[in-house]
Amino acid sequence: MSLEPGLKFLLQLPEFQLSRPPPGVTAADMRAVARPMPPFPVDEVHEVRNLQIPVPGANIAARLFRPSDRSPLPLVVHFHGGAFVFCNLDTHEPLCRSLAARSGCAVVSVDYRLAPEHPFPVPLEDCYHATQWLAAQARELSIDAGRIAVAGDSAGGNLAMGVCRLARARGGAPLRHQALIYPVTDAACDNASWRELGQGYMLSRDFMLWAWECYVPDAARRLDPLASPLRATDLAGLPPATILTADHDPLRDEAEDYAARLRAAGGAVIARRYLGVIHGFASLPFATPLANRALDDLASDLRASLAA
């Protein structure tokens, strides 16, 4: 399937290609020069509220999006992508607004601490404890603690999977769904889609290997299923999942392999591959109409999974 024209144009821009930084250039340096996305119309919501969430060793920021004044609303806890190293509440506000407006659920975006300053498992523990805190504060936030899902794109999808595993292991608040948008599932970055698409399609293999080095400096720990969910042998008992992939994304095969393994373990899985698009496409509505289609599909799944 040929690329969507708008995405093909973006891939011709040198600044749109992600590669390993040169020696001496730090993650902080790269964050300082990162360019914001061009402005585009965003979905309107009833309320946007900034929160502070206590987690072990810190208070982290979060942002609540309420689509209506109904109460209590089901909740989607969202963890942003950015290779565990980049992005924040602002970069993913359009996506979170869309999920809230289209699903009818409250969405809370969590600003977990970033690698390499805060390596594994700190970002994952931030996400888990933030989810538990939100469940405990359900009455004050006018949300339904019995109807909570987690969601994430790319590295955020990896964190959402980890939160589901920790909730199962620790007896945390029950989670009704996991919504995973082109998730990172394996530190190896070694399969057919990585070999086919690991250069020239925005997310390069050398960049992703660098991101893994930032997130999990100890190579042996990258085999931990909390870091590489595809390595898990115990996938039973996890929440139903929606997994979205892009056909021109090097993460495609590892995400689809994870979907197949979840299904084989008895899990309920909706897996959708979108054609003609690249990694990150759901945040690029100005470049492809399939961004809105994917968000509508995901919102529909969340609405159905979190129905009373």
- H runs (alpha helix) in 34-181: 93-103, 122-136, 138-141, 155-170
Choosing from 103, 154, 204, 283, which is the catalytic residue?
154
Question: Which residues, including other chains, have CB under 8 Å from residue 7's CB and lie 6 or more apart?
Answer: 248, 276, 277, 278, 281, 284, 287, 288
Any catalytic annotation for residue 279?
A: yes
Choosing from 126, 186, 249, 253, which is the catalytic residue?
249
Q: CA-CA distance, 214 to 226, in Å (whole number)?
A: 16
CB atoms within 10 A of CB 207: 20
In terms of C-beta density within 10 A (0-12 exposed, 13-18 middle, 19 or more buried), how is residue 264 classed? exposed
Choosing from 78, 279, 283, 305, which is the catalytic residue?
279
Any catalytic annotation for residue 142?
A: no
- CA 215 centroid distance within chain: 15
The one-letter code for the residue type at 110 is V
Any catalytic annotation for residue 301?
A: no
Q: CA-CA distance, 286 to 41, in Å (whole number)?
A: 9
Report the run of H or E that residue 241 belongs to, with start and end.
strand 241-246
Q: Annotated active-site positions, please?
A: 154, 249, 279
